[in-house]
Amino acid sequence: MKKNIKIILLIIIVIIIILNLVFKKNDFTYTIKYNNTKFSIVEKHNKNNYYIEIKKGDRVYPFRIYGEKKKRIVNKLYYYKDEMYECVLPLINDKLTVDMMCINKGIIYNYSGIVGVDESLDKFISSIKIYNIKKFYDDTSKNNKVNDTSFYIKNSIDKHIFLSSYKGLTSNKKSIDIFDSDVYDNKISTFINNYYITADYNKNYEFNKFYVINLDNEKTFTINSKNAISFDSYIQGIIVNNIYLYDLDNEAQYEINIEKKSVTEISTNTKIKHYKNGEFTLINKPKSELYFDYSTLNNYFTEYDKFIETENYYYLFKKDGEIYELYRVDVNNINVIKYLFDIPTIDIQYKDDYIYYYNNGYLYYYSDISGLRTIAYNNELKFNDSIKYYIY
């Protein structure tokens, strides 16, 4: 009996070792030379992307590539150094995929954002035949109009684009109407997991149901509430599959689950749930609006005015007059900071390598493979901050 147990344990150990070896193959290191300079490349495969670090001494250039399935995808690079910048341009499978990355005073910059600053660098980049700076520039020369929204064709991405409208929802293909008349302040609405949900603004003072649009098939259904909910309510936050709404008039907190088509009151006589630092706690009922706090590194990026944590990145905001300087840090190496661009707002959305925000009527996106681009324009975005957008 003891012999059998030893054999079973030995088999389990061997299986664990084999599994570890298999999964370690997702992380691999190799070297590339540019002239006589050697670079170490580290690739880590995560879900649908590669996290890549190019290293030369204590210099680290990190970036991510989505959709690739090959190993050793960096097959060539260019290198430049002068008194101001030290730069690397990697080619992914012989293609120009990401911009040249240049380090100055410990911060990484995209070359397309510093053109004209360093004449010697400009001369060097002009000698690289494969490099085309227009790949990273905006192009709003052609657009397709749906109702009052213009969608810019040459900047189009392989995504579904939705904006809330006064009657319901507008996509880059058509309009979906829900309400009988125009609603100019539909703040009780949000996007979640490829659904759009909004209060029943066909009512005047309180409501008992939500309208939900499935963004995949653009069909509408309703979720009913047993309790009447005041329009003096707001959405506190979203955690996984649940939306949390607080009714200030009735001092009631609700948990809304679209998949279950349920609206559940979760508050007690004196307490509601509040989400902060990655967990729920019970707090006294607030007298004014109190939103969930998703940050978990509040004591790390202290020199920045705000930061947003996502699955792969931390986005850091540093206020400079009326605008913010936007920086990005990869979760795999939080000591390497990349400057992205100046931004007029801290209200951004993000998915994979994309950042989205709107300003002065325009909806923008940024990714490392495209630079900053304009997606759409709607004049109402200038005046109505209750308009929401969703891209997937």
DSSP class per residue in 309-327: E-SSEEEEEEEETTEEEEE
The 3-state DSSP class for residue 348 equals coil
Answer yes or no: do 148 and 68 share one domain.
Answer: no
Is the pLDDT at 26 greater than 80? The verdict is no
Confidence band, pLDDT 50/70/90 cuts, at residue 18: very low
Is 8 inside a domain boundary? Answer: no
User: Can you tell me the mean pLDDT for 9-17?
Assistant: 50
pLDDT of residue 271: 97
Task: Establish if 243 belongs to a structural domain.
Answer: yes
**Predicted pLDDT of residue 15:** 52
Residues 304 and 297: beta-carbon distance below 8 Å: no
Q: How many helices (H) and strands (E) does the chain have?
A: 2, 32
Query: For residue 347, what are its two tokens?
Result: 């209200």
Domain boundary among 109, 136, 163: 136
Chain centroid, CA 34 distance in Å: 34
Identify whether the C-beta of residue 199 lies closer than 8 Å to the C-beta of residue 207.
Answer: yes
Residues 328 and 338: their CA atoms lie apart, in Å, by: 5
Nearest to 364 by CA among 381, 380, 352: 381
**Is a pLDDT exceeding 80 seen at residue 216?**
yes
Buried-exposed string 240-272: b where 16+ CB fall within 10 A, e elsewhere:
eebbbbbbeebebbbbbebeeeebeeebeeeeb
Residue in the structure block whose two tokens are 């929802």: 169
Q: How many domains does the chain have?
A: 2
pLDDT score at 333 = 93
pLDDT at position 23: 45
Same domain membership, residue 386 and residue 321: yes
* Virtual torsion, Cα 80, 86, 91, 95, nearest 10 deg: -80
* 15 inside domain: no
Structure confidence at residue 5 as a pLDDT band (50, 70, 90): low
Does position 8 have pLDDT exceeding 70, yes or no?
no
CA-wise closest residue to 53 among 351, 330, 352, 371: 330
User: In this structure, are 74 and 217 located in the same domain?
Assistant: no
Which tens digit of pLDDT belongs to each residue from 353-376? Answer: 899 998 999 999 999 999 999 999
Alpha carbon distance 335, 333 (integer Å): 5
SS3 363: strand
- Which tens digit of pLDDT belongs to each residue from 220-251? 999 999 999 999 999 999 999 999 999 999 99
Is pLDDT of 296 > 90? no
Please give the pLDDT value at position 119.
Answer: 97
Task: Work out the mean pLDDT of the chain and round it to a whole number.
Answer: 89
Q: 13-17, 270-274, 350-354 — which is least confidently predicted?
A: 13-17
Regarding whether 129 and 222 lie in a shared domain, the answer is: no
Q: Is residue 20 part of a domain?
A: no
**216 and 253 within one domain:** yes
Residue 167 lies in a domain: yes
pLDDT at 12: 53
Q: Of all helices (H) and strands (E), which one includes residue 20? A: helix 2-24
In a domain, 217, yes or no: yes
Regarding whether 288 and 239 lie in a shared domain, the answer is yes
The residues, any chain, with a CB within 8 Å of residue 85's CB and separated by 6 or more, are 102, 103, 104, 109, 114, 118, 121
Say what the pTM is.
0.80
3-state secondary structure (DSSP) of residue 7:
helix
Mean pLDDT of 290-312: 81
- The pLDDT tens digits of the residues spanning 78-105 come to 999 999 999 999 999 999 999 999 999 9
Q: What range defines the domain where residue 376 resides?
A: 143-391
pLDDT at 40 (0 to 100): 97
Whether 118 and 221 map to the same domain: the answer is no
Position 21 scores a pLDDT of: 44
Task: Give the count of beta carbons closer than 10 Å to the beta carbon of residue 22.
Answer: 9
Residue 3 falls inside a structural domain: no
**Beta-strand pair 101-104/86-92:** antiparallel
Copy the structure tokens of residue 127: 């000698």
Domain membership flag for residue 262: yes
Residue 255: give its domain's CATH number.
Answer: 2.120.10
Beta bridge partners of 391: 161
Q: List pLDDT tens digits, range 181-198.
A: 999 989 999 999 999 999
Closest CA to 114 of 85, 142, 76: 85
* Integer Cα distance of 391 and 370 in angstroms: 16
Question: How do strand 107-110 and strand 333-343 relate by DSSP bridges?
Answer: parallel
Predicted pLDDT at 1:
53
Q: Which residues pair with 66 in a beta bridge?
A: 49
Confidence of residue 153 (pLDDT cuts 50, 70, 90): confident
Residues 121 and 152 in one domain: no
